[in-house]
Homo-oligomer: A and B are copies of this chain.
Amino acid sequence: MHFVIIGGDAAGMSAASRAKRNQKEMDVVVLEQTLDVSYSACGMPYNIADPDRDMEELVVRKAHVFREKQGIDLRIGHRAISIDPNNKSVGFQTLEGKEATLSYDKLLIATGASPVIPDLPGFDLPGVLALKTLEQGRQIKQFIKDHHVQRAVIIGMGYIALEMCEALRANHIEVDMVKPRSVFLPWMNRTLSEMVQEEVSAHQVGIHIGHEIQCIEKQDNDLRVVCRDLELTGQMVLVAIGVTPNSGLAEQVGLELGPDRSIAVDKTLRTSNEDIFSAGDCADAFHVVTGQKTWIPLALRANRAGWAVADNVCGKRVELEGVAGTAVFKVFDLQIARTGLSISEAEKSGFDPAEITITSPTRAHAHPGSTTMGIHMVGDRRSGRLLGVQMVGREGVAHRIDAPAVALHQNMTVEAFSQCDLAYAPPFSPVWDPMLTAANQLLKKI
């Protein structure tokens, strides 16, 4: 069995490792276009935040370990350039420009996603950077050091933009953030997103919302981000307006595509070609709340999907249930989490949603150190189902979100969720956990 994997990141290396664990004798080849495999991509902003830390700390396992200890034929600096599904082969090119092909019995496309770079003048200037690969992380860190960056502009306000904003502030860099859309965190309930915006502003970050970017210009040692009615300057510009799935190869071969041009897969991670699987940030998934296809590129899913592909390739049928869109990130002292649908996503998906937003102390009455957290909860009037939860707070948000995430996997009603026996002790919550208070209030509306 020749199992060829395109892409040596989370999904690809998870699949490779598990395939070799499942069947030691299997021929597993990984083609990775960069020179890096198996690193904590999500950890890059936190590494960049600390100039004294070495970026190489983020590498979990080096290429030679995969080769020597696990027997994986891992070829770094090898870029896949074509797939021939009839002859079941992959064409690739090495860094030196050498081209060759490789046959497969089963193929995994785990090509990930790439930062979206607007097709506007100046986005190719030196100092205009994006963060996705470890090499890009190294470039940003090196650029800050070499150019003694004192001011930076971040284009975008998603979670990578916000994590990088914190990282740059930790480097004592003045930061302006700018975006075209007129809402700070569009997926988030307004009360909660205002809590986040206040936190970011409190850390002396300029937030410029609703400014269409026209170009980036070089001016002496500075870069100038030019909008119609605003100009922002810095020595560095970070582009973080989102990512797009690397589905080009799949598209060329005519594989079916899913939401946002991600690669469509069934629950066994199989594409529309029965010998080709896809996993990780390039592939779509079923959403457990809507039952419909969605594209939510997150690390846990990539790892899990990699394992599932390996099992299916090895003949042990595994179906993945789907994603709930559970995510958490930190910006300065705030934890921000979500699971399931926002109110507008719920409307678009055909539900009849009701919503509630509450604030609650994070600790019991009179317990020292209590802060205020916000919870937003969405339920369906027709079925009574819990549809989504969002939270913002200084403590207890990151892991609290997992409880409603489990509830979404089970199609629980708001009422059933409100009956759950959750943990209580004064340092950690009021007697009625804020999630239960939110559920109790939401029940009155549905």
Q: What is A's interface to B at a CB cutoff of 8 Å?
A: 10, 40, 42-43, 46-47, 50, 53, 57-58, 60, 288, 298-301, 303-304, 320-330, 335, 337, 339, 364-368, 396, 398-407, 409-410, 412, 416-417, 419-429, 431-433, 435-436
Is the CB–CB distance between B405 and A402 below 8 Å? no
Q: Hey, which chain B residues are within 8 Å of A50, CB to CB? A: 368
Check A423/B339 contact, CB under 8 A, given A412-B406, A432-B300.
yes
* Other-chain residue from B46, B410, B425 in contact with A412 (beta carbon distance below 8 A): B410
Q: What separation, in Å, do the CA atoms of A28 and B435 have in the docked complex?
A: 30
Is the CB–CB distance between A405 and B431 below 8 Å? no
Q: How far is the CB of A332 from chain B (nearest CB, A)?
A: 12
Q: Hey, which chain B residues are within 8 Å of A409, CB to CB? A: 416, 419-421
Q: What separation, in Å, do the CA atoms of A429 and B43 have in the docked complex?
A: 11
Is the CB–CB distance between B406 and A423 below 8 Å? no
In the A-B complex, the 3 residue pairs with the smallest Cβ-Cβ separation, listed nearest first, are A402-B403, A398-B428, A328-B423
Given contacts A328-B425, A328-B428, A409-B420, 8 further A-B contacts (CB under 8 A): A42-B425, A46-B426, A58-B365, A327-B424, A399-B429, A405-B420, A406-B410, A407-B410
Q: What separation, in Å, do the CA atoms of A327 and B46 have in the docked complex?
A: 33
Is the CB–CB distance between A40 and B401 below 8 Å? no
Is the CB–CB distance between B426 and A402 below 8 Å? no
Q: What separation, in Å, do the CA atoms of A423 and B416 have in the docked complex?
A: 22
Q: What separation, in Å, do the CA atoms of A102 and B280 have in the docked complex?
A: 69
Q: Hey, which chain B residues are within 8 Å of A410, CB to CB? A: 406-407, 410, 412
6 sample A-B contacts, Cβ–Cβ < 8 Å, listed by A number: A42-B431, A327-B423, A396-B399, A398-B429, A399-B428, A403-B406
* A408 to chain B: closest residue by CB: B421
Is the CB–CB distance between A422 and B405 below 8 Å? yes
* Other-chain residue from B43, B400, B424 in contact with A365 (beta carbon distance below 8 A): B43
Q: Hey, which chain B residues are within 8 Å of A327, CB to CB? A: 423-425
